[in-house]
């Protein structure tokens, strides 16, 4: 199927780089879809990915009628911090990259109080449900997958299975089930990773573009 515009969004697994072409650029170069727009940003939270995708769809609908969104969502535990100041103490707290140790947790446990798996998963599927329904209301096609490796082992499975939003997302054929796919898994299966985080090499991006073109009949 030919779309007059493809909007791609996600985190560093999807974002364009100066190092090499990424999969959105290969889709643009190897298909009839001349308008392939990539709004992915490294470090993005899923709130940012969903929010900015909807914003870009609304903008794109001024010029395009047949839009496809390809969205690779990020780590569910990743949160946003909005700060535009230059107070170094605040910046140090926001961007501290030290290893998380027991003593660090003792000092920062309030930050993690709400980051338990049940809450994270509930909020995510609520957000996902509203996101894809909004896309459908905008007559926008979509394909959504977990770009990051999201692994959950401590959640209450009965709680999750009873969530209506979870059931709807799980039964949606345009949403790849979490745990069945991620970029790291794809890249490792092709032996095309450039680091231990599973980010793809240039050849990996080329192969993933081929995978999407076949999967979505582009």
Our separate counts of H helices and E strands in the chain read 9, 4
Query: CB–CB of 5/57 below 8 Å?
Result: no
* Residue 165 lies in domain: 5-83+118-215
Q: Is 94 contained in some domain? A: no
| Structural contact between residues 59 and 142, judged by C-beta atoms closer than 8 angstroms | no
Q: What is the pLDDT of residues 144-184, one digit of tens each?
A: 999 999 988 766 788 889 999 999 999 999 999 999 999 99
CATH number of domain containing 145: 3.40.50.1110
Residue 198 forms part of a structural domain = yes
- pLDDT value at residue 173: 97
Query: What predicted TM-score, i.e. pTM, was given to this entire model?
Result: 0.85
């Amino acid at each position: 199927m030919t779309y007059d515009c493809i909007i791609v969004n996600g985190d560093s697994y999807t974002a364009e780089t100066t190092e090499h072409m990424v999969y959105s650029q290969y889709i643009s170069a190897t298909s009839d879809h001349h308008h392939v727009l990539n709004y992915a940003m490294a470090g993005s939270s899923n709130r940012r990915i969903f929010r900015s995708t909807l914003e870009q769809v609304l903008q794109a609908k001024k010029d395009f009628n047949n839009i496809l969104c390809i969205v690779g969502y990020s780590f569910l535990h990743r949160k946003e911090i909005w700060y535009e100041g230059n107070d170094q103490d605040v910046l140090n707290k926001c961007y501290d990259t030290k290893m998380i140790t027991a003593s660090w947790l003792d000092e920062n446990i309030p930050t993690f109080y709400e980051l338990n798996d049940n809450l994270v998963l509930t909020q995510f599927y609520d957000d996902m449900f509203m996101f894809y329904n909004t896309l459908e209301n905008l007559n926008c096609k979509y394909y959504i997958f977990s770009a990051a490796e999201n692994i959950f082992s401590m959640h209450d499975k009965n709680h999750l299975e009873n969530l209506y939003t979870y059931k709807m997302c799980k039964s949606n054929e345009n949403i790849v089930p979490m745990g069945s796919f991620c970029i790291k898994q794809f890249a490792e299966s092709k032996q095309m990773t450039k680091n231990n985080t599973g980010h793809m090499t240039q050849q990996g991006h080329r192969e993933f573009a081929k995978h999407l073109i076949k999967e979505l009949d582009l």
